Chain A
Amino acid sequence: MARIDLDLAHSYLPDPQQDADYALLPLQMSFEDGGAYALLGPSGCGKTTMLNIMSGLLAPSRGSVKFDGEDVTQRSPQQRNIAQVFQFPVIYDTMTVADNLAFPLRNRRMPEAQIRKRVGEIAEMLELSGQLNRRAADLAADAKQKISLGRGLVRPDVSAVLFDEPLTVIDPHLKWQLRRKLKQIHHELKLTLIYVTHDQVEALTFADQVMVMTRGQAVQVGSADALFERPQHTFVGHFIGSPGMNFLPARTVGGKLEVAGRTLALPPNLGLPDGELKLGIRPEYVALTTADDTAALPVTVVQALDIGTHVLLTGQCAGSDLKIKARLSPELAAPQRGDTVWLRVLEAHTCFYKNEELIP
């Protein structure tokens, strides 16, 4: 196991000129020994490039990769002692489940007695014990993927285990159980695990620290809580949460906030600079209120959709074409289309952004 330090940039072009030429913009990141991390972002954000650089399938065009302080930038995945699990099962169909799990250990010439013990432990954790003597070919897709996971986790001496969307082939009903297994295994084996996905649930559930990426840039590294409550970048506010954060263009003048043609009183000691900014508030925190609330905007209801667990309100701010979404309790009577309602947008969870970055 190792601590991994990245200080690098990567372009697939020979002579990159501008930001858009980079698959990964310059970044520094440390993965602590034994941590559970996720790289999260839409397709094309650079997360797979980053994974390939860590595993050694790709050398960065600039900078270095260090394992426990040692420069491994030019080393192969074997030399780095990395285990990988891919989207689709990579196993030997003709071998038994036990031999599949033992394969990475036999390659490393571990004594047979130790191999049996380790294979037994991993099979137990993944609930494969009953199938150890069956041929892998006879198993269903999700059991095969469990073998792949097991092969990734079986070696106790790996620097890190890298997962590339490993639950893609798993039936939705079984996903949570495998997520639970992975968490449990991380807890018990204390391996450094790095998980790449475009699925927010997968990332936030699995990892202690999630790196959110967009356009080759890591815009925030943080816990699920931090990404939800205090997005450091508007992209994080938009990408995490469903629907994402509302962003309203606003202006601060002498302790007051102008938004959608209205002036709202800002709480003191907020210390916002005067000028243009964006107000960010999650639909979960927008609340129905009354006209005398000085932290609220009048909004015309465009749609109030009963989504079962909540009412999802889409409104248009009076006197502007700004749209705002609110997720309201189903226990309140839902407003109707065309109604004017007052929505509170300034409260403890409201964030402010300048040039897409959070104002601390």
Chain B
Amino acid sequence: MELTLEGISKKVGAQPWLYAMNLAPKRDAVTVLLGATQAGKTSLMRIMAGLDTPTQGSVKVDGKDVTGMPVRERNVAMVYQQFINYPSLRVADNIASPLKLRGEKNIDQRVRALASRLHIETLLDRYPAELSGGQQQRVALARALAKGAPLMLLDEPLVNLDYKLREELREELTQLFAAGDSTVIYATTEPGEALLLGGYTAVMDAGELLQYGPTAEVFHAPQSLRVARAFSDPPMNLLGAAAVTLGVQLNSGPALAISLPPETAKNLTANLTVGVRASALRLQARDGDVALPGVVELAEISGSDTFVHLTTGVGEVVAQLTGVHYFGLGAPLTLHLSPAQVYVFDAQGALLVAPKRPGGP
């Protein structure tokens, strides 16, 4: 289904919770709402669902204005952070409940099919309280899917699970969403989760919608510093700089040869910000690289990656290295960076330069 939000805003008392925004999530695909807590994700979802009405603006479903229509008259499925099931009903009846409500046929068979897609087919006779957190959330997801609603809203559905379970369930969800049966809105605070879900991403911050587009595109070309900050984990390294004849000069650091937009270059604009993703910093230098010598503050190890926090002449930076690396606290270390892989933002925080990527624009 096609959901369109036009000029939506929300005030609670005098306090603005959502600033005026337009959003048309891609039909029958996943749209991730990405932002920190308090960004406005849940407020926006409640408006999409019909649980709240916006202070201004309208909500349209397939072109029809549904702004004042209450949630029970809409066909929406929701899944929350907390695992919400009917405690007195067995798993099978929990999943069957939306089907029974509509008086559908072949309920048993359909419950079984859904349960097996979410790997809970052996738990159908149990009560929710007898299940682990991951299993309970699977039941809630199966019930939401049973509803077969054209709009599915998921508000940080995996946040209360262990990371391995999260990984597993996220992958299953992406496969279910890929069927393209519903328009899915998925709220998360984690940039990594947005990337793994793929689809489209709307970046939110402090009640504002900052940018919307295909997820990888938003990640690779954040239109502003605020988007870059919100859509990076570890945080993008942001270094003060000024325009010089050949490119940019990092404050108390080396110069980087990059071509700036003509205006910026001509005026030798100061107050620029150079953004460097943690993954763009390397241990081995390549041709044309610039060196950033520093001292190790901490090496955080995830297994697949090591995140090295470093104090350098241009400030604190963090680098993402593949695999396990050990560095002593206080050890000297030099990282290398290619000028072709940096972002440049102007004094207002607008994107001036983004790195080129293979296959990208």
| Complex interface bits, B155-174 against A, C-beta within 8 A gives 1, otherwise 0 | 00000001111010000000
- Are A227 and B359 closer than 8 Å at their CB atoms? no
CB atoms of A42 and B165 under 8 A apart: yes
Over the window 48-82 of chain A, the binary record of Cβ atoms lying under 8 Å from chain B Cβ atoms (1 yes, 0 no) is 00000000000000000000000000000000000
- The proximity string for A residues 315-341 relative to B, scoring 1 for CB distances below 8 Å and 0 otherwise, is 000000000000100111110000000
Q: Type the 1/0 row for B179-200, where 1 means its CB is closer than 8 Å to any CB of A.
A: 0000000000001100110100
Are A240 and B303 touching (Cβ within 8 A)? yes
B167 A243 Cβ-Cβ under 8 A:
yes
Least distance between B333 CB and chain A CB atoms (Å): 15
Please state if A308 and B216 are interface contacts (CB–CB under 8 Å).
Answer: yes
Chain B residues whose C-beta falls within 8 Å of the C-beta of A333 in the assembled complex: 358-359
From B219, B298, B324, give the contact of A224 (CB < 8 A): B324
Which interface class (under 10, 10 to 19, 20 to 34, 35 or more) fits A? 35 or more
Given contacts A200-B163, A305-B196, contact A241 B304 (CB under 8 A): yes
A200 touches B302 (CB 8 A): yes
Tell me, yes or no, whether A306 is within 8 Å of chain B by CB: yes
Q: Are B303 and A200 in contact (CB under 8 A)?
A: yes
B323 within 8 A of partner (CB): yes
- Interface flag for A103 (CB, 8 Å): no
Q: Which of A24-32, A180-188, A258-266 participates in binding chain B?
A: A180-188
Does the CB pair B216–A228 fall under 8 Å? no
CB distance from A242 to the nearest CB of B (A): 5
Knowing A42-B165, A228-B323, A309-B277, the reply to whether A179 touches B298 (Cβ < 8 A) is yes
In the assembled complex, how far is the CB of residue B257 from the closest CB belonging to chain A, in whole angstroms?
20
Count chain B CB atoms within 10 A of each CB in A179, A239, A307 and give the residue with the most: A307
B112 — which chain A residues lie within 8 A by C-beta? none
- CB pair B303–A205 under 8 Å, yes or no, is no
Interface positions of A from 270 to 312, Cβ below 8 Å from B: 282-284, 305-309, 312
State A242–B323 Cα separation when bound (angstroms).
11
Contacts of A312 in B (CB 8 A): 196
Contacts of B131 in A (CB 8 A): none
| B358 with A332: CB separation less than 8 A | yes
Asked whether A183 and B298 contact (CB < 8 A) given A227-B303, A228-B303, A333-B359, the answer is yes
Contacts A43-B132, A183-B329: A308 and B219 contacting too (C-beta < 8 A)? Answer: yes
The CA of A198 and the CA of B195, in the complex, are separated in Å by: 23
Please indicate the chain A residues that have their CB under 8 angstroms from the CB of B277 in the complex: 308-309
Q: Are A306 and B216 also in contact (CB < 8 A) when A200-B163, A229-B324 are?
A: yes
Contacts of A331 in B (CB 8 A): 358
B251 CB within 8 Å of chain A: no
Q: B303 contacts which of A44, A224, A309 (Cβ < 8 Å)?
A: A224
Are A205 and B298 closer than 8 Å at their CB atoms? yes
Q: Is B226 an interface residue (CB 8 A)?
A: no
B196–A307 CB distance below 8 A: yes
- The answer to whether A330 and B358 touch (CB under 8 A), given A176-B309, A224-B303, A309-B277, is yes
Q: Does A199 contact B (CB under 8 A)?
A: yes
CB proximity to A under 8 Å, residues B112-170: 132-133, 162-165, 167
B357 cross-chain contacts in A, Cβ below 8 A? 330
A334 CB → nearest B CB, Å? 6
- Asked if B358 contacts A201 (CB within 8 A), the reply is no
B298 near A176 with CB under 8 A, answer yes
Contact in complex: B220, A308 (CB < 8 Å): yes
CB<8 Å pairs between A and B, sample of 18 = A43-B162, A44-B132, A180-B297, A187-B329, A201-B301, A201-B302, A204-B301, A204-B302, A225-B326, A228-B323, A305-B196, A306-B220, A308-B216, A308-B279, A309-B277, A331-B358, A333-B358, A334-B359
